[in-house]
A = this chain, B = another copy of it.
């Protein structure tokens, strides 16, 4: 972990908005879902390997978006991709006795994700100077409900749903900047994922990275550290605020 230098960065003086990757970067999807679903199932006597299901669910995330990207599926919001995947996983994990309302409740676990401890304090500081919002593959309803439940103080909610493209398609980064009336260089993409930042940088956005080394639990294989010279490399979102002097 780096300590936060107090030096201002004049080359970042044009940045007006910071857009955050959400799953993994701002909220702990894995820990939240395992606790949420495990607790809910225990209360109902429903046995299941919830950690295994959650890991498999997330493993299906990129392939399901790729089907949209390749045109095999028409534009489909993430809630609906999640739900389609979930139905197969419940069968695969041998979890029985779930009705439609149960599956809806499980699927909406993604609306109930909890922020990492530094997220809300860091965002609250950054909001004093910057427009802050998500730029997430989560659909608008998911992101709005998540922010409402978790107290995430977004100025606005930007989902890739608005552009009919999933990240890392360039339409998402460029669409967000245009929608905010800003040039790409006035927008900073902030994420715990090097790939997201590489795609944003290719579109001209500024970039900020911090690691989430437990995001994937024991299965994590990447994003333990910055793998390029991003504009800012921070320890977490509070450190990002410190490095930006807010």
Contacts and interface: CB of A to CB of B under 8 A. Distances in A.
B156 A131 contact: no
Interface stretch (A34-42, A43-51, A139-147, A205-213): A139-147
Interface residues of A, number: 21
B162 A155 contact: no
A161 interface: yes
A68 interface: no
A217 to B, nearest CB: 29
A89 interface: no
Contacts of A142: 181
A79 B143 CA distance: 27
A148 interface: yes
Given A156-B156, A157-B156, A162-B162, A144 B180 contact: yes
A179 interface: yes
A181 B141 contact: yes
Interface in A139-169: 139-145, 147-148, 154-157, 161-162
Interface in A52-99: 79
A143 B79 CA distance: 27
Interface string A95-138: 00000000000000000000000000000000000010000000
Given A140-B179, A179-B140, A179-B161, A131 B155 contact: no
A144 B162 contact: no
B140 A156 contact: yes
Contact of A157 (B143, B145, B157): B157
A227 B154 CA distance: 36
Contacts of A141: 179-182
A6 B144 CA distance: 29
Nearest to A157: B156
Nearest to A179: B140
Interface in A169-201: 179-182
10 contacts: A139-B179, A140-B156, A140-B180, A140-B181, A142-B181, A144-B180, A147-B156, A154-B156, A156-B157, A157-B157
User: Which 7 A-B pairs have CB atoms at the shortest separation, nearest pair first?
Assistant: A141-B181, A156-B157, A140-B179, A144-B156, A141-B180, A148-B155, A144-B155
